[in-house]
Structure 1
Amino acid sequence: MKVGETLSGEKAKESKMAPKGLKTFAIEAYNLLASGSSSVVDMNDFDIYYDNTTGNILAVDFRVNRRGISNAN
């Protein structure tokens, strides 16, 4: 077992993001911010911090647990 993996060999943080993977959430977070819509997530699934001037994403906090999407600590 490597550092950051679960006993089943999954990446620890990604295994807590059910049913979608972390990569999907990152892409959909960008889609949501850029276009205002996503078929996978909505604004209540996580917090997006971005620069008001440039629109660049500074951070995406997936630890938000409003709808039970993530239990990552």
Structure 2
Amino acid sequence: MKKVFVLFALAGLVMTTSCGKKEVEQTEEIIENQVEETEEIIDDSVEELDETVEDTVDSVEVTVEEVTEEVNG
């Protein structure tokens, strides 16, 4: 009877070990995918910020030129 319990215990450990490895590999893949997605989101945000800054600088330049022309007459 003891041998049966030992066999069940060993089988349970083997199953836990084999199934646990898959979860670790899947978790690693999920982490890698999240890192890639985060990098893409950051890159997109930086590009949008650059465009916004360029637009703002252009707008300020136009406004400064208009005010300068009005003051100089």
TM range (shorter): under 0.3
- Select the structure of larger CA radius of gyration: 2
Higher helix share: 2
**Greater relative CO (CA pairs within 8 A, separation 6+):** 1
TM-score, normalised on structure 2? Answer: 0.28
Higher strand share: 1
